[in-house]
């Protein structure tokens, strides 16, 4: 055997051995099970479906309290709408106004300060009492030259709010204001919060309303009263169909 033939044989043996070693080093593939074979199939574990609702006791309690408050609000609005409709049934500006007396229900537990109705203080100037406020409001609308008709006086909590409707054009150059109205300004010296509203677009005739709230004499009650006034005026506007 010639030298050349021997070299070729050794080369072939070397290549074959390397191929076998390389193949043995490959990872073993996944076994394929025949379709006829019965083998258990593991389903990937999945976490239980979540409703997306936090059912912890604290959240459930808050939601229950909120639903209760919503039902109370709906009932208050229905009662208020009935009272307003009954009071305004006589046509014209001589229709009697609605007087809402102080509420007896207490605020629910856990209510925020801005959500808790303010009770009437035990020591109070006469003008801030429901009867006194009603008297001052009626005098102001009669004596101060503003074409206003009293629609409702909300004394369901402190302080009272007077709701008035504009019945005609005011004096030229004279705004609707209680600052220069003697019967009002002489007894309510801490300022007045005024909210103007108009009837909704689909309600005819279009009318203008003003709500007047004399700020409390007690400095520590001014901010809570203004915070509560936002909620109170929203409720009354809904009952009067104002925007």
Return the pLDDT at 121: 95
The more confidently predicted of residues 7 and 185 is 185
Question: Is the per-residue pLDDT at 33 higher than 50?
Answer: no
Q: What is the pTM of this model?
A: 0.64
Return the pLDDT at 243: 80
Domain that holds residue 145: 97-169+184-243
Return the pLDDT at 141: 94
* Residue range 94-123: mean pLDDT, rounded: 70
Question: Is the per-residue pLDDT at 39 higher than 50?
Answer: no
Is residue 165 in some structural domain?
yes
Is residue 214 in some structural domain?
yes
Question: Is the per-residue pLDDT at 53 higher than 60?
Answer: no
- What is the spatial order of strands in the sheet that 161-166 belongs to? 98-100, 148-154, 161-166, 208-214, 192-198
| Unique residue bearing structure tokens 């009626």 | 138
DSSP labels, 183-229: HHHTT--S-EEEEEEEB-TTSSS--EEEEEEEPPSSGGGHHHHHHHH
Domain count, the chain: 1
Is residue 12 in some structural domain?
no
pLDDT digits (tens, 9 = 90+) for 126-162: 999 999 999 999 999 999 989 999 999 999 999 999 9
Return the pLDDT at 153: 94
Return the pLDDT at 107: 44
- Maximum average pLDDT range among 12-26, 29-43, 204-218: 204-218
Is residue 91 in some structural domain?
no
Question: Is the per-residue pLDDT at 215 higher than 50?
Answer: yes
State the Cα–Cα distance between residues 163 and 142, nearest whole angstrom.
14
Return the pLDDT at 158: 97
Is residue 32 in some structural domain?
no
Return the pLDDT at 82: 63
Question: Is the per-residue pLDDT at 21 higher than 50?
Answer: no
- Maximum average pLDDT range among 65-74, 100-109, 185-194: 185-194
Is residue 221 in some structural domain?
yes
Return the pLDDT at 61: 74
Is residue 177 in some structural domain?
no
């Amino acid at each position: 055997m010639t030298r050349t033939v021997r070299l070729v044989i050794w080369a072939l043996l070397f290549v074959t051995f390397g191929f076998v070693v390389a193949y043995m080093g490959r990872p073993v593939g996944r076994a394929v099970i025949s379709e006829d074979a019965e083998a258990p199939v593991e389903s990937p574990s999945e976490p239980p479906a979540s409703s997306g609702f936090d059912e912890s006791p604290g959240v459930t309690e808050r939601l229950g309290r909120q639903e209760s408050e919503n039902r109370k609000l709906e009932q208050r609005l229905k009662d208020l709408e009935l009272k307003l409709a009954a009071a305004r049934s006589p046509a014209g500006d001589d229709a009697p106004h609605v007087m809402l007396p102080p509420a007896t229900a207490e605020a629910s537990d856990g209510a925020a300060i801005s959500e808790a109705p303010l009770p009437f203080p035990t020591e109070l100037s006469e003008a801030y009492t429901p009867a006194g406020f009603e008297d001052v409001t009626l005098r102001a609308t009669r004596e101060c030259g503003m074409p206003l008709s009293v629609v409702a006086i909300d004394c369901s909590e402190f302080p009272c709010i007077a709701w008035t409707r504009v019945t005609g054009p005011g004096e030229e150059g004279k705004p609707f204001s209680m600052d220069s109205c003697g019967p009002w300004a002489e007894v309510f010296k801490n300022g007045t919060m005024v909210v103007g509203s108009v009837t909704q677009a689909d309600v005819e005739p279009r009318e203008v309303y003003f709500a007047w709230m004399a700020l409390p004499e007690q400095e520590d009650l001014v901010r809570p009263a203004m915070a509560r006034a936002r909620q109170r005026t929203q409720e009354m506007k809904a009952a009067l169909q104002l925007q």
